Chain A
Amino acid sequence: MNMPLLEVKNLSISFGGLRAVDDFNLSIEKGQLYGLIGPNGAGKTTVFNLLTGVYKPTDGAILLNGRNITGHKTIEINRDGIARTFQNIRLFKDLSVLDNVKLGLHHRYPYRTITAVLRLPKYFKQETAMDERAMELLKVFDLDGEAATLASNLPYGKQRKLEIARALATDPVLLLLDEPAAGMNPNETQELMDTIRFVRDKFDMTILLIEHDMKLVGGICEELTVLNFGQVLKQGATKEVLSDPEVIKAYIGE
């Protein structure tokens, strides 16, 4: 039997008296495109923050490839193999597009500060390799023409793409996308859906995404988990979940 890539068991967190996420279970297979949906305030982003070590869970365990990563710090989680994007785009806005991606490659080319200061051959070798790798990634997202542009000068849709490129540069096994379609028009959303699918196929990536846009979720996710008030309301194949009366009720009301 195959071990799931990500396994979350009985994950819970309380803030004061509020149980923001309660007994959350999740199992994602390698290569899956998985959606996490739910009304506002359901605890979706909290789940992401738990998975990426921003919050420490009160209870429960997170296993990545069978390895327990519960309680790891954010920077360790990234090295464990989880990369993420943010709901409100977080780029290094005063750095170039190329530098943003090169920061994602930071740990794969680990020459030391002294090597840089003395400009030893290793510096040039690794910087060149970094440039090449970063340009490859940018090309995949059709951003190679804007490598020298400041990240803040990119149009919105391209900023989203750059954030995904930067996350992929860290060479993750699991990619978390937090509301990637937020603030996009239908055309941009359509393009984003293609990009996400493309990333999954091209990089053989496992993707977990939070989304409000039902069209996007219905269009690309294979399985869904619906959260409501911090608890799992429904879990299963996309079609079934989306036609479930309870889910519809939670979203649209009585």
Chain B
Amino acid sequence: MGKLKKTTKQELITCGIVVLFYIVITILDKTGNLKSHTKGLLVPICYYATAAVSLNLVVGFLGDLSLGHAGFMCVGAFSSALFSVAMKESTMPAGLRFFIALLIGTAVAALFGFLIGIPVLRLNGDYLAIVTLAFGEIIKNILAAIYLGKDEAGVHISLKSFPLQGEGKMLINGAMGIQGVPTDSKFLIAMLVLLITLLVIYHMVNSRTGRAIMSIRDNRIAAESIGIDITKYKMLAFTVSAAIAGTVGVLFAHNTSTLTAASTYFGYNVSIMILVYVVLGGIGSIRGSVIAAALLYALPEMLRGLGNLSNYRMLIYSVILIAVMLWNWAPAARAWRERVFKSKNKQKQES
């Protein structure tokens, strides 16, 4: 069928762009043309792109505004980092350890997504946004207050700092977080995670599952009337999205040696930042999410190198955000683009 071919083509183009990006970066790196500052951006670019793609499943395809994405990242980050730190001294090879950490972070975040989804998905619109935002903040704040330590007397967990008896180790040290997380996140692995996420989301969206999810977005009552189980598909989309956010959290945790549940990393502003990537990339456009996340994450970092101007980098960043938003959505800009590029309503074609 022509339709199938078209969606497969979209998928191949997006994955192609990602692979091409990897090849170009690797060549630049091997020939010594990459500054270490730029190198440091590569892993975050991959995981924020992954986060944007997974959030798009809920915001773009299910049509629910979720503002708790950073909360699920936080859960994934802490659960996996805890495992990695605990296993650091063992004889387990680093590759296997990180693979298991990825699985743990994903699974724990999925569980949280499922549990939080049960009450939250009964809500719609603004209410859902507010409650997911609150859940995200609650998760982050609890993780910032937990003390978990292991000593001769066993494992202790508390919301207050406590002394360890004899030989022991603090695993989670309250607001100081988890120290000594092995930095296992490599560009290649982050890239693979992004590629796998893209394949999973594309394959899901272009299937009966994806159609059911989109039917809820388009017309809930009609979806029910043809026997679509609304609760099931809402939960599915929300859980998968949370699970991938957990994977992102794992990459995040293993990209810094000290993991803290600070607002800068896991606050609602991060959820909103990811939402900005989704909205600017085009709601419901997977490729758009990837490109927007990569560019918008790299942009303010690149602006650091502008010398005197770098003081104004957040100002420049905001102006660019507004410009992109206008370019994407303002009726006049859209009409102009259509005239110039003669593209006949490409908006909805991708997905």
Q: Which A residues are closer than 8 A to B by beta carbons? A: 52, 74-75, 78-79, 83-84, 86, 90-96, 98-99, 102-104, 106-107, 109-111, 113, 116-119, 123, 127-128, 130-131, 147-148, 150, 166-167, 169-170
Nearest chain A CB to B46's CB is how many angstroms away? 20
Q: Mark B203-215, 1 if CB is under 8 A from A, else 0.
A: 1101111111011
Residue B151 CB within 8 A of the other chain: no
Residue B126 CB within 8 A of the other chain: no
Which residues of chain A are within 8 angstroms of B223 by Cβ–Cβ distance? 92, 103
Contact of B211 among A78, A102, A128 (CB under 8 A): A102
Residue B338 CB within 8 A of the other chain: no
Residue B96 CB within 8 A of the other chain: no
Nearest chain B CB to A40's CB is how many angstroms away? 21
Q: For the complex, what is the distance from the CA of A109 to the CA of B209, rounded to whole Å?
A: 11
Which residues of chain B are within 8 angstroms of A147 by Cβ–Cβ distance? 3
Residue B29 CB within 8 A of the other chain: no
Nearest chain A CB to B348's CB is how many angstroms away? 6
Which residues of chain B are within 8 angstroms of A118 by Cβ–Cβ distance? 203
Whether the pair A98, B228 counts as a contact (CB closer than 8 A) is: no
Q: For the complex, what is the distance from the CA of A64 to the CA of B302, rounded to whole Å?
A: 67
Which residues of chain A are within 8 angstroms of B199 by Cβ–Cβ distance? 117
Residue B87 CB within 8 A of the other chain: no
Whether the pair A107, B348 counts as a contact (CB closer than 8 A) is: no
Chain B residue nearest to A111 in the complex (CB): B208
Q: For the complex, what is the distance from the CA of A3 to the CA of B146, rounded to whole Å?
A: 67
Whether the pair B224, A116 counts as a contact (CB closer than 8 A) is: no
With A106-B211, A116-B204, A117-B204 in contact, do A90 and B226 touch (Cβ < 8 Å)? no
Residue B222 CB within 8 A of the other chain: yes
Residue B24 CB within 8 A of the other chain: no
Whether the pair A78, B226 counts as a contact (CB closer than 8 A) is: yes
Which residues of chain A are within 8 angstroms of B227 by Cβ–Cβ distance? 75, 78-79, 106-107, 170
Which residues of chain B are within 8 angstroms of A74 by Cβ–Cβ distance? 224-225
Chain A residue nearest to B214 in the complex (CB): A95
Whether the pair B203, A75 counts as a contact (CB closer than 8 A) is: no
Nearest chain A CB to B270's CB is how many angstroms away? 27
Which residues of chain A are within 8 angstroms of B230 by Cβ–Cβ distance? 75
Which residues of chain A are within 8 angstroms of B229 by Cβ–Cβ distance? 75
Q: For the complex, what is the distance from the CA of A53 to the CA of B84, rounded to whole Å?
A: 52
Chain A residue nearest to B206 in the complex (CB): A116
Q: For the complex, what is the distance from the CA of A52 to the CA of B224, rounded to whole Å?
A: 10
Which residues of chain A are within 8 angstroms of B1 by Cβ–Cβ distance? 128, 131
Whether the pair A83, B226 counts as a contact (CB closer than 8 A) is: yes
Which residues of chain A are within 8 angstroms of B348 by Cβ–Cβ distance? 94, 150
Q: For the complex, what is the distance from the CA of A127 to the CA of B200, rounded to whole Å?
A: 17
Whether the pair A106, B226 counts as a contact (CB closer than 8 A) is: yes
Whether the pair B208, A91 counts as a contact (CB closer than 8 A) is: no
Which residues of chain B are within 8 angstroms of A83 by Cβ–Cβ distance? 225-226
Chain B residue nearest to A150 in the complex (CB): B348
Select the residue from A92, A130, A166 with max chain B CB neighbours within 10 A: A92
Which residues of chain B are within 8 angstroms of A167 by Cβ–Cβ distance? 225-226
Residue B221 CB within 8 A of the other chain: yes
Chain A residue nearest to B219 in the complex (CB): A90
Which residues of chain B are within 8 angstroms of A113 by Cβ–Cβ distance? 204, 207, 209, 236
Whether the pair A96, B204 counts as a contact (CB closer than 8 A) is: no
Nearest chain B CB to A219's CB is how many angstroms away? 27
Nearest chain B CB to A161's CB is how many angstroms away? 15
Chain A residue nearest to B209 in the complex (CB): A113
Which residues of chain B are within 8 angstroms of A102 by Cβ–Cβ distance? 208, 211
Nearest chain A CB to B218's CB is how many angstroms away? 4
With A106-B226, A167-B226 in contact, do A95 and B211 touch (Cβ < 8 Å)? yes
Q: Given A86-B225, A93-B219, A123-B207, 18 other A-B contacts at CB below 8 A?
A: A74-B224, A74-B225, A79-B227, A84-B225, A86-B221, A92-B222, A94-B214, A94-B348, A95-B214, A98-B3, A113-B204, A113-B209, A117-B203, A130-B208, A131-B4, A166-B226, A167-B225, A170-B226
Q: For the complex, what is the distance from the CA of A167 to the CA of B226, rounded to whole Å?
A: 7
Chain B residues 82-118 with CB under 8 Å of chain A are none
Whether the pair A91, B222 counts as a contact (CB closer than 8 A) is: yes
With A90-B221, A95-B215, A116-B204 in contact, do A103 and B4 touch (Cβ < 8 Å)? no
Whether the pair A119, B203 counts as a contact (CB closer than 8 A) is: yes
Which residues of chain B are within 8 angstroms of A52 by Cβ–Cβ distance? 225
Q: For the complex, what is the distance from the CA of A79 to the CA of B348, rounded to whole Å?
A: 31
Chain B residue nearest to A128 in the complex (CB): B1
Q: For the complex, what is the distance from the CA of A40 to the CA of B40, rounded to whole Å?
A: 68
Whether the pair A116, B225 counts as a contact (CB closer than 8 A) is: no
Whether the pair A103, B226 counts as a contact (CB closer than 8 A) is: yes
Whether the pair A103, B215 counts as a contact (CB closer than 8 A) is: yes
Residue B125 CB within 8 A of the other chain: no
Which residues of chain A are within 8 angstroms of B206 by Cβ–Cβ distance? 116
Which residues of chain A are within 8 angstroms of B215 by Cβ–Cβ distance? 92, 95, 103
Whether the pair A148, B3 counts as a contact (CB closer than 8 A) is: yes
Which residues of chain A are within 8 angstroms of B208 by Cβ–Cβ distance? 102, 106, 109-111, 116, 130
Select the residue from A74, A79, A118 with max chain B CB neighbours within 10 A: A74
Nearest chain B CB to A70's CB is how many angstroms away? 18
Which residues of chain A are within 8 angstroms of B218 by Cβ–Cβ distance? 91-95
Which residues of chain A are within 8 angstroms of B212 by Cβ–Cβ distance? 103, 106
Residue B2 CB within 8 A of the other chain: yes
Which residues of chain B are within 8 angstroms of A103 by Cβ–Cβ distance? 211-212, 215, 223, 226, 228
Q: Which 6 A-B pairs have the closest CB atoms?
A: A116-B207, A78-B227, A90-B222, A92-B218, A113-B209, A74-B224
Which residues of chain A are within 8 angstroms of B236 by Cβ–Cβ distance? 113
